[in-house]
Amino acid sequence: MSDQPFAIVSGQNDLSWPTPSSLAPDDIDRLLAYAVSVKASDISFQPNQPVWAEIAGCWMRLTKRPLRLPEIETLARLIYGDNAMAHLNAGRDADPSYEIRHPDGFGRLRFRVNLTAGRMPGGLGVQVTLRALPSQPIPVDRLGVEQEILDHFRPAQGLNLVCGPTGSGKSTLLSSLVRWRCEQKGANEKVIEYSKPIEYVFDGLEFPDSFVWQTEVGTHLRPVEEGGESSLWSYCVRNALRRKPSMILVGESRDRATIQASIEAALTGHLVLTTLHTIGVPETIRRLLIPFAREERDTVAIDLLQILNLVVTQILVRDTSGGRVAIREFLVFTPEIRRQLERESSDRWPGMLREILASGKCIGRSMSRCSAELLQAGRIDEATHAYVSAREHAQL
């Protein structure tokens, strides 16, 4: 398998993997290995369509012929188990992970998976989307992480947020920051992670005096009394408090219960790391407060001011070489910023934070400034810069 990046030819969207007349499980694994070899980030299977792969931001065909529903059902059972179709036909999706043996015989290839039922001509079908995952977190120097983020990543306690839309590399960045911290001599970290599914593993990495334990939510840990997704995640955060961690990593703060549990954990003297589906520092603060009733928000806002340490948000855009580059907005919540915010209603905080970022008088950087620097360096073009700037201004 080649380690060289796949060169995208303008207009080419068919990679012509030799597809057998019927895909068996071994064929599916070979196809997925091929997708990884051509640097596919996401692979999509659905009935009556060829297999599609996203490579450097462009969807391209991996197979010439469309797949049939029984082949997709075979894939679903291979990944999820024999009850896959019963689960999907009941109106539930699934988010498992999947591993295959590396074709060279060493190591494994890992994928994050989503299975969702939907309409197809003549009845019910299923779409399977796989995202290829590196076997280990990527070193931060390969991600171009700003020094200010590294300098302020590890406070004594608090809340660090890594945010962005789906597919923006949130989990990649967060796992890389954890790896960077644990590789430092004298870090002395006990990191407990709760994710669904576990995306990046730390197997094979040697940390001088730190260690990581990873728990898949709903599989390795779930409350005795089922109370839905919200109670599941908050249960996991509270489980961590009984285990004396120095860092708690929550895969996603997706609702009121999880946000509240993460805040409580940070208030008790832990560093909590988590992600949100937001774009921009101001919008992230707004998103943290929206799930709470109006009469609760002032109290929650004061708690947030005590613990907020670092908010990083990023998107991925095409660069001038045909690859992808991260554009990051970040802000360190210094005592001075906290004092400014606490004098005003939390409703005004998003606007104030946008003004603080625009002023440049902070430890941070706006998305438009990051975009401008990449434009000046020739990494992105004018159209991409204009898109990023317009998107930032539309947030508020």
Q: What is the dihedral of CA 336, 332, 328, 286, to 10 degrees?
A: -70
265-281 average pLDDT score? 93
Task: List the CATH number of the domain containing 114.
Answer: 3.30.450.90
Last residue of a domain, one of 115, 133, 151: 133
Same domain? 190 vs 121: no
Q: Does 16 fall in a domain?
A: no
Q: How far apart are CA 378 and CA 360, in angstroms?
A: 23
**pLDDT tens-digit profile of 319-347?**
998 888 999 999 999 999 999 999 999 99
Q: Is residue 326 part of a domain?
A: yes
Residues 245, 297 share a domain:
yes
In a domain? residue 3: no
CA distance 262 to 282: 19
**Angle at CA of residue 170, ends 169 and 176, nearest 5°:** 85
pLDDT at 136: 85
Per DSSP, 136 falls in state S
Question: Do residues 253 and 313 share a domain?
Answer: yes
pLDDT over 50 (residue 159): yes
pLDDT tens track for 115-155: 999 998 888 899 999 998 877 899 999 999 999 999 999 99
Q: How many domains does the chain have?
A: 2
Could you tell me which of 294, 385, 386, 277 has the C-alpha nearest to residue 347?
A: 294
User: DSSP letter at 118?
Assistant: E
Question: DSSP 3-state assignment of 396?
Answer: coil
114 plus 202 within the same structural domain: no
Residue 58 has pLDDT above 50, yes or no: yes
Burial class (CB in 10 A: 0-12, 13-18, 19+), 352: middle
**pLDDT of 62 above 70:** yes
- Mean of the pLDDT values across residues 240-245? 91
pLDDT-based confidence at residue 187 (cuts at 50, 70, 90): very high
**What's the whole-model pTM score?**
0.81
Q: Is 194 left (phi over 0), alpha (psi -120 to 50) or beta?
A: beta
CA atoms of 374 and 211, how far apart (whole Å): 36
Residue 274 has pLDDT above 90, yes or no: yes
Q: What is the pLDDT of residues 356-389, one digit of tens each?
A: 999 999 999 999 999 999 999 999 999 999 989 8
* List of residues 6+ apart from 232 with CB closer than 8 A: 217, 218, 222, 223, 226
Look up the domain containing 68 and give its range. Answer: 25-133
Do residue 129 and residue 146 come from a single domain? no
DSSP state of 138: P
Helix locations, the chain, DSSP H: 25-37, 69-80, 84-89, 140-143, 147-151, 170-182, 228-240, 256-267, 281-289, 294-307, 335-342, 349-359, 367-376, 382-393
164 and 84 part of one domain:
no
Locate tokens 């679903």: which residue?
A: 76
Dihedral Cα 70, 76, 78, 83, nearest 10 deg? -100
Query: Judging by beta carbons within 10 Å of its beta carbon (0-12, 13-18, 19+), is residue 142 exposed, middle or buried?
Result: exposed
Locate tokens 């599989």: which residue? 219
Tens digit of each residue's pLDDT (9 = 90 or more) over 65-104: 999 999 999 999 999 999 999 999 999 999 888 989 877 7
Same domain, 101 and 199: no
User: Whole-angstrom Cα distance, residue 374 to residue 136?
Assistant: 27
Question: How much is the pLDDT for 9?
Answer: 37
- Smallest Cα–Cα separation from 65: which of 78, 49, 80, 81? 49
Percent of the chain with pLDDT over 90: 66
pLDDT band of 4, cuts 50, 70, 90: very low
Whether the per-residue pLDDT at 6 is higher than 50: the answer is no
Q: Coil, strand or helix: which one is 376?
A: helix
44 versus 390: the higher-pLDDT residue is: 44
Most confident of 110-119, 174-183, 219-228: 174-183
